Structure 1
Amino acid sequence: MINSTDTSAALSIAAVERETGLGKDTLRVWERRYGFPQPDRDDKGERLYPTEQVDKLRLIRCLLDRGMRPAKIVGEPTEALQALLEAGDQPRSPSTPASEPGAFQYVRLGRTVELGTSLRQSLLRQGLQRFVSETVAPLNEEVGAAWMRGEIQVSDEHAYTEQVQNVLRGAIGALGPGGGRPRVLLSTLPGEEHILGLLMVEATLASEGAACLSLGTRTPLVDLCRAATDNGFDVVGVSFSAAYPARQAIDRLQELRALLPPEIALWAGGAAVRGKQKRLPGVRVVADLDDALQALAEWRTAHGPAPA
């Protein structure tokens, strides 16, 4: 039945996914587990999300990106979420590198060609590893915060993400086929479409001589395991964004660990698994880009140095 609420401005679940970056499965799980969101229904029984709920979901997405857990925030009122967001908007520490001057303005103005040029110039000046950590990482935060404040549209965020991915893929390709160890197979698992974080890790590892291959997004566990085993990979790396349910991420990692031979290391990163190391025996939880380098160093210490 149609709810009595006016649905003329409501969005479908597919539209909410596009607008917020929160997957359909995540929205349904939250609806059951936390009682939010509470969509209306059209005459076909399809979910319709009022604009105020979509606005709250944007707030939640931004807080998730800052490391907060769904269980702590999904049930909170909008005013409390806004206060949490504002409390986190502190001035940048002088020791924290700022994003490339001009790049963010190109995002705001929708000037994607100039944005791509600016990013490539930064890459040339900084080198791949510094470009990822000192330009892309802080710029991701800027763009996410601006989207949350309504200063840019979701289409601007998507265009930005596409430009960064293009630049990173080109830079990784320019390194040539990696011949060093470990050989790292990268992917996301079913239900996870966000790949930028995984691409940043690939760029970081490849710049250190690791041989990386990405299968892209949503690779089934059995296929991922078979590819790693049949092709002699040393490490399987997967990532989970903040929107991915943490419990589901833990379950799938435990399943993947059981499928993989013990000699193949399993690394997992992203907001959904941050701080979950104790619940994931046999999985190396990677906290951030610096920790990815640490995981690489640990593997090489245990298995011998990479070939010159």
Structure 2
Amino acid sequence: MERDTRFSKDTLRVWERRYGFPVPLRDANDERVYPEAQVEKLRLLRRLVDNGHRPGKIVSKTFEELLALAEEGKPRPKNGKRMQAEGTALPSAALEAHQTVATFIDLLRTHQTDALRQAMSTTLMRIGLRDFIIEIAAPLCHEVGEAWARGEIQVFEEHLFTEQIAHLLRNTISTIPAPPESAAVPRVLLTTFPEEPHGLGLLMAEALLALQGSVCISLGVQTPIGELAMAAKAQRIDIVALSFSAYCAGRSVISGLQLLRDSLPPHVEIWAGGTSPVLARTSIADVHVFQTLAGIAQAVERWRLHSQANHLGPAGA
């Protein structure tokens, strides 16, 4: 159930007690068994919670009410032909990107794994890594998540997609030349908090940072905050970059960022980004929040200028 709904078992059990939903059955071994209708409702709840709705306000609603709520907050169709018919045609470059994303989704749904891999690789080579991430990969990840929430793709299909694009990005990152040792570039530590298992956003950020000449050191996902602080000191880190999906609870995001800020030297910056709604709603002292991946290049340039003005050098020394 955790894999199929992205709600932790602790969350599901709290909801059982607090809201009276879900209402699992019990098998012969007294293990919880969730009927398909409840699984579908939980998927829809996942989608709404990801979009900022509070569980206490929506868990008790019927499936039909939740579906209507999801439709209310649904963005206008991004299909180029339909938008043209409505008199709001997309620019040609944006239209091409939307069509490319739609093609990739179709390949995933029809299980054309090799074709998907080849199509993504070809597109990356044609438009370059930066544009691929910002114009294709980030929207594609969002659309895959939405398709999963609507029940249009299965968990295994989402996992297949994640492995495909992660493999492509890692291979491409490995080909980016390392900056000269004398260059004034930031040393960036990338990871997620223990409650955050998703690392694809982190990988996209790493690729964009590497393109800007940053020295990137990735710890993967789910690093304890105390270990993260020790790693930052041992690796002479200038910036700690963190990714938060909507999976991560808002309170743990805020408390974790504050704990990390208190654990790091003042000169070490904290950069946070991702789809967690709390990032957009909350201003956290001494934490740079990114609403989109496109802001990374400008942030690295700002760091460079600040470093040069203060004669700090590449590692804050």
Which of residues 178, 183, 190 in structure 1 aligns to 2:187?
Answer: 183
Work out the number of aligned pairs and report it: 291
Deviations 1:98-120 (A, max 9, x none): 15263222101112111111110
Corresponding position of 1:7? none
1:147-200 CA-partner distances (Å, limit 9, x unpaired)? 333332221111011101111111111113345621110101112111111111
Q: Taking structure 1 as reference, are residues 76 and 291 closer, same or farther at Cα in structure 2, changes over 3 Å only?
A: farther
- Residue number in structure 2 paired with 1:154: 155
Q: CA deviation at 1:45?
A: 5.2
Contact residue 43 and residue 151 of structure 2 kept, 8 A? no
Whether 1:240 aligns to 2:244 is: yes
Change (3 A) 1:178 1:43: farther
Higher Rg of the two aligned structures:
2
Cα 1:287/1:71, change in 2 over 3 Å: farther
Q: Which moved more, 1:158-167 or 1:67-76?
A: 67-76
- TM-score (structure 1 length as normaliser): 0.84
Q: Tell me which residue corresponds to 2:98.
A: 98
- What does residue 303 of structure 1 align with? 307
Amino acid at match of 2:106: Q
The answer as to whether partners of 1:186 and 1:198 remain within 8 angstroms in 2 is: yes
1:274 is paired with a residue of what secondary structure?
helix
Deviation of the 1:53 alpha carbon: 2.0
SS state of the match for residue 134, structure 1?
Answer: helix
| Aligned equivalents of 1:76, 1:178: Cα separation in 2 | 54
| 1:1-308 paired onto structure 2 within 5 Å | 16-31=1-16, 36-42=21-27, 46-68=31-53, 70=55, 73-87=58-72, 88-92=74-78, 94-95=90-91, 96=94, 97-100=97-100, 102-179=103-180, 181-272=185-276, 273-278=278-283, 280-304=284-308
**1:40-81 deviations in Å (ceiling 9; x for gaps):** 445655433332221112112223444555455444432232
Q: Distance in 2 between matches of 1:26 and 1:178?
A: 45
> Residues 209 and 73 from structure 1, CA distance in 2 versus in 1: closer, same or farther, beyond 3 angstroms?
farther
Question: Percent same amino acid among aligned pairs?
Answer: 45
Which stretches in structure 2 are left out of the alignment for 5+ residues?
Answer: 84-89
Q: Is the 8 A contact 2:178 2:213 kept in 1?
A: no
Unmatched 5+ stretches in structure 1: 1-15
CA contact (8 A) 1:26 1:244 kept: no
- Give the RMSD, CA atoms, in angstroms: 2.6
Question: 1:250, CA displacement in angstroms?
Answer: 0.9
Q: Distance in 1 between matches of 2:52 and 2:299?
A: 21
For the 8 Å contact 1:182–1:210, the answer to whether it is kept is yes
Partner amino acid for 1:274? L
Letter in structure 1 aligned against 2:70: L
Give the conservation status (yes or no) of the 8 Å contact 2:7–2:247.
yes
| CA-to-aligned-CA distance 1:253-303 (integer Å, 9 cap, x gap) | 11111111111111122232322442x212112222123334333323322
Say whether the 8 Å CA contact 2:232–2:240 is kept in structure 1: yes
**Greater CA deviation, 89-98 or 130-139?**
89-98
SS in 1 for 2:280: coil
